[in-house]
Amino acid sequence: MLTEFGPLGHWEVPKTSWGAPVEPSSWEKARNYFATQDLVRTEGKGLCLGSYAFLWGHKQETTSTWYGMFLDSGEKLPSVDALSRSWTGHWPANRSPRIERFESPVKEKTLAPGATSTATVEAMDPEHDPLTITWEVVAESTDAKVGGDKESAPPSFPEAIVSRQESSVTFRAPQKPGAYRLFVTVRDGKGGASKDNFPFLVK
């Protein structure tokens, strides 16, 4: 029995110079779920009773997206599609959109307080559904727990979003020095989404 599997843990990934873990993208996590479950299905045939994917739900742990397979608003993320494909041999009727590129000149870098910067995203939808894109600046979590205990969500800064275009954003660094993340969420309007982020430091 494989009693727990999922994305790389926040202790297993590269970190920024100020120690913030770099979260795998939603697509990278989906690939990891699929590869692990497929290995259980093929190599463990006749030997393995089953497996537990972590986590079929939404959870704040390090970030709001690191381990959960759903957004807090209910949309499924690509990891759900990957497991459905591995379990049944078929993709679900509506697949989540995929973030293909998420770039910024300040990705994993430092900004001065109040400085502005930009970010761009490229996304596609397997069914060509029209996509909506939202952006959010969030403080780095400081309520780290062990053993999966409940963590409080860090504050967000809606005033940091200066302007939005179809697939880009201009945002302003908060005045308070510290560690933050920029999140982008892509929704297809049919229950599917992808959500990625990158850390940046205000100093």
- Taking only the tens place, the pLDDT of each residue in 2-16 is 889 999 999 999 999
Distance CA 177, CA 37 (A): 42
pLDDT of residue 13: 97
- Count CA atoms closer than 13 A to 78's CA, side-chain side: 26
What pTM was computed for the model?
0.94
| Between 154 and 47, the higher pLDDT residue | 154
Average pLDDT, the chain: 95
Three-state secondary structure call for residue 143? coil
pLDDT of residue 41: 77
pLDDT of residue 40: 81
- Taking only the tens place, the pLDDT of each residue in 180-195 is 999 999 999 999 999 9
Average of pLDDT values for 161-190? Answer: 97
Domains of the chain, by residue range, sit at 2-202
Distance CA 38, CA 43 (A): 8
Residue 66, pLDDT above cutoff 90: yes
Residue 70, pLDDT above cutoff 80: yes
**What percent of the chain clears pLDDT 70, i.e. is strictly above it?**
100
Distance CA 117, CA 63 (A): 22
pLDDT of residue 1: 85
45 burial type by CB count under 10 A (0-12 exposed, 13-18 middle, 19+ buried): exposed
Spell out the residues 6+ positions from residue 35 whose beta carbon is closer than 8 angstroms to its own.
none
CATH architecture of 2-202: Sandwich (2.60)
Which of 65, 54, 63, 58 is CA-nearest to residue 143? 63
- Taking only the tens place, the pLDDT of each residue in 23-65 is 999 999 999 999 998 888 777 777 888 889 999 999 999 999 9
Distance CA 149, CA 99 (A): 30
Average of pLDDT values for 152-173? Answer: 96
- Contact criterion met (CB below 8 Å) for 82 and 30: yes
Residue 173, pLDDT above cutoff 90: yes
Which runs of consecutive H residues, i.e. helices, occur in the chain? Answer: 26-43, 78-88
Helix axes 26-43, 78-88, angle to 10 degrees: 20
